[in-house]
Amino acid sequence: MHRRSPLLACLLLGAACQPVGPASIRGARFDYNQAIAGSWDEQLLLNLVRLRYRDTPQFLQIGSVLARYSLAGGASAGATIGVDGTRRTATAVGANIAYEETPTITYVPLQGEEFTRHLLTPIGAQPLFLLAQSGWSIERLLRCCVQQINGIRNAPSTAGPTPVRGDDAAEFVALAKLLRELQIDGVLAGLVDGPVVPPGVAAGGDTRFVLQRSAEAAADARLADLRAMLSLSDGCAEFPVRAGLGSGQGCSIVMQTRSLLGVMFFLSLGVEAPAADAQAGLVTRSVDQRGVAFDWGLLVGELLRVRCAASEPERAFVRVRYRDHWWYIDDADLESKSTFCLLTWLFNLQSTSPAGVGPILTVGAGG
């Protein structure tokens, strides 16, 4: 005689009798979050390396993530009385659990007229000032994203493929550092008035530099240096900023910004190339006016340094393998990590993902 007990089966498969949905949230949300963030960092780094070699960059957006989890189980229990003609009883218990995860991920290439327009559209002063208001270094923002201010040039040739002739930006770097000092001390701030507008839209709020403590600022020698560098009139407490070329008049500032692609070309100069690749002509060899090799690290090294190694690095914030080498940002290089993070925010501000939304994670937790 055989007897089966449903209660015993459920006890043996307690995990299978519990709801799967709530338990899957923690693992799905955080695991996929880390995977998506990590893959985006690797893709962005890869494209910087590609630009250094004049290879074609390519962006692939994660359109959606559908993760379905299933947990199924079965159990059996029985007893046999009178084994071998005696009164001895034999029992048999069996159980099985099957767990399965079936993710479906869709990828959408970022390309076409709209995406290209956003890549090539100048970033504009408004998002830069919004970032400055939120605590970002005005020096980092200006050096990465601005071509020139009131005629002071920031190596404009670096907004495209690596130029053959080195481009000096010593005066612009000095200006950016001075503005950063005034920002830290609370003397000067970048403000935005009016509504925030999408990238590429001309209308929007006014942007301006403002003296926050005019009494102290008036006695600050650094402000006199700022006025002298930008050819500004004395006594100004506000400096309206407008887009364009050339120098401002009176208290106005004229600023020409880079496009997102221009920022990426500029930062790609921080990618170190193996000596063998340079000798083989795989990367541009830049020289100064005397014909001496020009080190772009002097211009970009304070902002971003992408190192190169023959073997996989042990301590890396982000790493990617390309052209038989490993390219990475050291995890302890906080300046490079900050600039890389800024590039991510600029990409989010300037570009658009399909349907105007980010990746959609759908978790199907049915049995």
Judgement on whether residues 105 and 117 belong to the same structural domain of the protein: no
Report pLDDT for 320.
97
Are the beta carbons of 123 and 346 closer than 8 angstroms?
Answer: yes
Q: Is residue 366 part of a domain?
A: no
Q: Is residue 313 part of a domain?
A: yes
CB-based contacts of 350, cutoff 8 Å, min separation 6: 118, 119, 121, 123, 127, 199, 259, 260
Residue type, 44: L
Are the beta carbons of 313 and 328 closer than 8 angstroms?
Answer: yes
The helices-and-strands tally (H runs, E runs) of the chain is 12, 12
Per the DSSP assignment, residues forming a β-bridge with 255 are: 149, 243
Axis-axis angle for helices 334-350, 21-52 (nearest 10): 100
Gap between the Cα atoms of 243 and 151, Å rounded: 12
Gap between the Cα atoms of 261 and 306, Å rounded: 18
Query: Final residue of a domain: which of 79, 109, 139?
Result: 109
Are the beta carbons of 229 and 181 closer than 8 angstroms?
Answer: no
Judgement on whether residues 62 and 180 belong to the same structural domain of the protein: no
Judgement on whether residues 93 and 120 belong to the same structural domain of the protein: no
Q: Is the pLDDT of residue 258 over 60?
A: yes
Domain, as residue range, for 83 = 6-109
Judgement on whether residues 231 and 175 belong to the same structural domain of the protein: yes
Judgement on whether residues 158 and 277 belong to the same structural domain of the protein: yes
Q: Is residue 66 part of a domain?
A: yes
Q: Positive or negative, the Cα torsion across 346, 114, 49, 60?
A: positive
pTM of the model: 0.79
Residue type, 198: P
Across 275-337, where does the E strand assignment appear? Answer: 307-309, 316-322, 325-330
Judgement on whether residues 336 and 203 belong to the same structural domain of the protein: yes
Q: Is residue 367 part of a domain?
A: no
Judgement on whether residues 93 and 181 belong to the same structural domain of the protein: no
- 53-57, 211-215, 220-224, 329-333 — which is least confidently predicted? 211-215
The total of structural domains in the chain comes to: 2
Instruction: Centre a 10 Å sphere on the Cβ of residue 30 and count the other Cβ atoms it contains.
Output: 10
Indicate the DSSP class of residue 233. P
- Region label for 210, one of left (φ > 0), alpha (ψ between -120 and 50) or beta (otherwise): beta
Q: What is the CA radius of gyration of the chain?
A: 30
Gap between the Cα atoms of 39 and 352, Å rounded: 18
Judgement on whether residues 285 and 262 belong to the same structural domain of the protein: yes
Q: Tokens in use for 13?
A: 């498969």
What are the tens digits of pLDDT across the range 173-209?
A: 999 999 999 898 888 877 776 554 444 444 445 788 8
Instruction: Centre a 10 Å sphere on the Cβ of residue 82 and count the other Cβ atoms it contains.
Output: 11
Query: Final residue of a domain: which of 69, 91, 109?
Result: 109
Report pLDDT for 197.
47
Instruction: Centre a 10 Å sphere on the Cβ of residue 199 and count the other Cβ atoms it contains.
Output: 19
Judgement on whether residues 317 and 178 belong to the same structural domain of the protein: yes
Q: Is residue 220 part of a domain?
A: yes
Q: Is the pLDDT of residue 249 over 50?
A: yes
Q: Is residue 364 part of a domain?
A: no
**Residue 21 pLDDT level (bands cut at 50, 70, 90):** low
Judgement on whether residues 132 and 263 belong to the same structural domain of the protein: yes
Judgement on whether residues 183 and 241 belong to the same structural domain of the protein: yes
Average pLDDT over residues 251-266: 93
Kind and range of the H or E run holding 158 = none
Judgement on whether residues 128 and 71 belong to the same structural domain of the protein: no
CB-based contacts of 261, cutoff 8 Å, min separation 6: 119, 120
Per the DSSP assignment, residues forming a β-bridge with 81 are: 89
Alpha-helical runs (H) found in 253-316 = 260-268, 275-279, 297-300
Q: Is residue 287 part of a domain?
A: yes
Axis-axis angle for helices 21-52, 260-268 (nearest 10): 70
Q: Is residue 337 part of a domain?
A: yes
Query: Final residue of a domain: which of 76, 109, 142?
Result: 109
